[in-house]
Structure 1
Amino acid sequence: MLSFFSRLKWVRKSKKTQSSKKKDEISKVSSRTSESTNSSSQPKIQTSSVYTNGRRFQAYKDCNYILPNDDTEIDRLHLEHWLMKNVLGRNFSVPIEPELDRGIKVLDAGCGGGTWVLEMANEYPNSDFTGIDVSVGWPTEIRPRNSDFVVGNIVSELPFEDNTFDFVYMRLVGMGVSNDEYPTVLYHIYRVLKPGGWVELVEVDGAQVYRGRRSSQFWNAVLQYLKMRGFKTGIVKDLYQKVEDAGFVNIDGMRVRIPLGTWGGKLGEVFEEDVLGAYRSLRPVIQPMLNFSDDDFQSLLDNLPAENNEVRQEMNWFSNWAQKPTPEQIRFR
């Protein structure tokens, strides 16, 4: 079996700031019907949102994503995209750049704000890029002509014909796809990939490497909340086996250990901004789990940077890729 974490690398880049947006929204529930912004042939999906302590969360009954889906969270996802691109050195790791230059069909499963799709569409104008997500967070008017977006729940289905895409990219769905649901998502990906097509999966091990007392306290509350929502931990721990069980071949990948805090230079500084942004996003659901007052929770956030530097906090990210076998490869397996 190939080594799943065959490479380890560090990259330090300059900091990019994230806009901070605060909304004073009263608690309410809203719902609407959405569809693909370009293709009326795609099935419609009934989506809904719930507002909690000024943050908007996904309330679609078959979606377990625990982070918000509002503009503030989209800003954080833009920052996170920039961070991962600079850490990994590019937007993908699968060996298909010549094919992208010539022109192929690509899907971003769980695309969030659509940043990856938009950048890739600009960089590879001969290829066609589609993003799918249960919430609309992408630009609906101004975007590259070779990009499209579809509203859909990747756990339920991928609303595309068999053997449609040459490359499927999926990043950071661990907070919305449970360990038990992951094989179903991989089944959908396998189905829509062409024989010989590639899938790339990027996930983070939120448990971190050297946790201090405060970060342990926060993460344990996250685990408790995930358990309440039916999640199991450890997607990254057995992802290789899940990919292999789904029928993929030529499985490979790399682990990237990223510093968290100013002790790690600009990279650690930006990553800390991203993680603290995620912690703030989770405040409406995690603060009650901790039974903290507003002041106590803010004190926890305020003291995390010093603790991160003290313990030299790090976090593991995993970029893993595999190939759907061709009929010839299946025949000789």
Structure 2
Amino acid sequence: MTQINNSDTKSESNNYTDTYTTRYGRKYNAATNYLLPMDEGDRSSSSIRRVYRDHQTPIKEQLEKGISVLDSACGAGAHWTLTMKEQYPNCVYTGVDISNVFPAEKYSSVNFVMGNISKRIPAPDESFDFAFQKLLGLAFTREEWDSNLKELYRVLKHGGYVELSEIYAVSACNTGPLMDQVMNAFKTISKSKAIIVDKAPYELEHLLTKAGFTNPMVIIRNMPLNHGEHGKLYWKCMRAAYEILRPQFAQVYPEWNEVSFFEDFLNSAEEECSDTKCYYEWKICYAQK
């Protein structure tokens, strides 16, 4: 990795524009099968992004000196990018997202650009020293995962690192009968869109190796739901996702079409999670080019 000046940025011509469609009364990006809508700042995944603003790749010294960093699918508010800028102000940051959900405020050494990262990341070859990407398990098909990781490999400099961070969204642990229903609904609607949400997090290291990366390292954290440290916050984040997905879940459980019924169901599921000590696994995997 090489130290860079704050003016050392790279870009390429990008004619991508976002288009939207309305489903279930919500605004979705028409270019993706992403299960969550893009209106209201995608409040569920955005909330989780606020919780996780860290990185695990062992490059603190390089970050302190200043390198070029990509936040791939930075999401509404670009919370990870802005937190990293505060911690490592000598770096130059680029945030890419498929939708125009970037902060309105302008920041020095931070550039935001729209692009479909499953097809082409809008940057020349070997532009970045470090690429970070998270919470796309609800978005990609098998083919899109392969294409995306090849793109991350292309835009990274030789010796650069990539870090992926994903939740096992449809495979919570220690579930009771109510959360089993939520997991079943999750799996059913994801499979209907060819999204491999139930497999991709398990295979991050293999997907990275397939794309050409070396020495993948894996870290697994538990994400408790309504118990333990941060459990209430994690449940609040996931409940927001379940509420947004309710119209799609109702294709599996029609009684969930009734909002009040579903709210009562989630209230009971919340208590169940506390009783069974239900949790998600959060998998972090980093590797080198």
Does TM-score exceed 0.5, indicating one fold?
yes
- Does the Cα contact within 8 Å between 1:210 and 1:313 map onto a contact in 2? yes
- 1:155-304 equivalences under 5 Å are 155-206=118-169, 207-232=171-196, 233-261=198-226, 263-265=227-229, 267-292=230-255, 293-294=257-258, 295-304=260-269
- Does the Cα contact within 8 Å between 2:160 and 2:288 map onto a contact in 1? yes
Query: Tell me, what secondary structure is at the counterpart of 1:45?
Result: coil
CA distance in structure 1 between the partners assigned to 2:183 and 2:264 by the alignment: 16
CA distance in structure 1 between the partners assigned to 2:40 and 2:13 by the alignment: 25
Residue of 279, 282, 286 corresponding to 1:321? 286
- Does the Cα contact within 8 Å between 2:71 and 2:133 map onto a contact in 1? yes
| Deviation for aligned residue 1:220 | 0.9
Amino acid in the other structure paired with 1:64: N
- 1:111-122 equivalences under 5 Å are 111-113=74-76, 114-122=78-86
Amino acid in the other structure paired with 2:115: G
Unaligned runs of 5+ residues in structure 2 are: 1-8
Amino acid in the other structure paired with 2:219: M
Range with bigger deviation, 271-280 or 176-185: 176-185
Query: Tell me, what secondary structure is at the counterpart of 1:299?
Result: helix
| Deviation for aligned residue 1:297 | 2.0
- Does the Cα contact within 8 Å between 2:11 and 2:122 map onto a contact in 1? no
- Does the Cα contact within 8 Å between 1:133 and 1:152 map onto a contact in 2? yes
Amino acid in the other structure paired with 1:321: Y
Between the two proteins, what is the percent identity of the paired residues? Answer: 29
CA distance in structure 2 between the partners assigned to 1:193 and 1:271 by the alignment: 32
CA distance in structure 1 between the partners assigned to 2:64 and 2:41 by the alignment: 34
* Structure 2 equivalent of residue 25 of structure 1: none
Residue of 30, 36, 49 corresponding to 2:20? 49
- Does the Cα contact within 8 Å between 2:92 and 2:110 map onto a contact in 1? yes
* Structure 1 equivalent of residue 72 of structure 2: 109
Residue of 50, 65, 70 corresponding to 2:39? 70
Whether 1:81 aligns to 2:12 is no
Q: What do the CA deviations read for 1:281-318 (whole angstroms, capped 9, x no partner)? A: 21232223321231332222221111111211011001
CA distance in structure 1 between the partners assigned to 2:11 and 2:18 by the alignment: 17
Amino acid in the other structure paired with 2:261: D
| Deviation for aligned residue 1:40 | 9.2
Taking a change above 3 Å as real, the CA distance of residues 164 and 156 of structure 1, as seen in their structure-2 partners, is same
| Deviation for aligned residue 1:72 | 5.0
- Does the Cα contact within 8 Å between 1:118 and 1:143 map onto a contact in 2? no
Range with bigger deviation, 203-212 or 235-244: 235-244
- Does the Cα contact within 8 Å between 2:11 and 2:124 map onto a contact in 1? no
Amino acid in the other structure paired with 1:70: D
- Does the Cα contact within 8 Å between 2:208 and 2:287 map onto a contact in 1? yes
Range with bigger deviation, 42-51 or 271-280: 42-51
- Does the Cα contact within 8 Å between 1:58 and 1:69 map onto a contact in 2? yes
Query: Tell me, what secondary structure is at the counterpart of 1:129?
Result: strand
Q: How many residues align?
A: 276
CA distance in structure 1 between the partners assigned to 2:97 and 2:41 by the alignment: 17
- Does the Cα contact within 8 Å between 2:18 and 2:100 map onto a contact in 1? no
* Structure 2 equivalent of residue 124 of structure 1: 88
- 1:140-155 equivalences under 5 Å are 140=104, 142-155=105-118
- Does the Cα contact within 8 Å between 1:179 and 1:234 map onto a contact in 2? no
Amino acid in the other structure paired with 1:104: I
| Deviation for aligned residue 1:117 | 1.0
Query: Tell me, what secondary structure is at the counterpart of 1:282?
Result: helix
Query: Tell me, what secondary structure is at the counterpart of 1:100?
Result: helix
CA RMSD of aligned residues (A): 1.9
Amino acid in the other structure paired with 1:322: A
Taking a change above 3 Å as real, the CA distance of residues 72 and 161 of structure 1, as seen in their structure-2 partners, is closer
Taking a change above 3 Å as real, the CA distance of residues 284 and 56 of structure 1, as seen in their structure-2 partners, is farther
* Structure 2 equivalent of residue 7 of structure 1: none
- Does the Cα contact within 8 Å between 1:171 and 1:203 map onto a contact in 2? yes
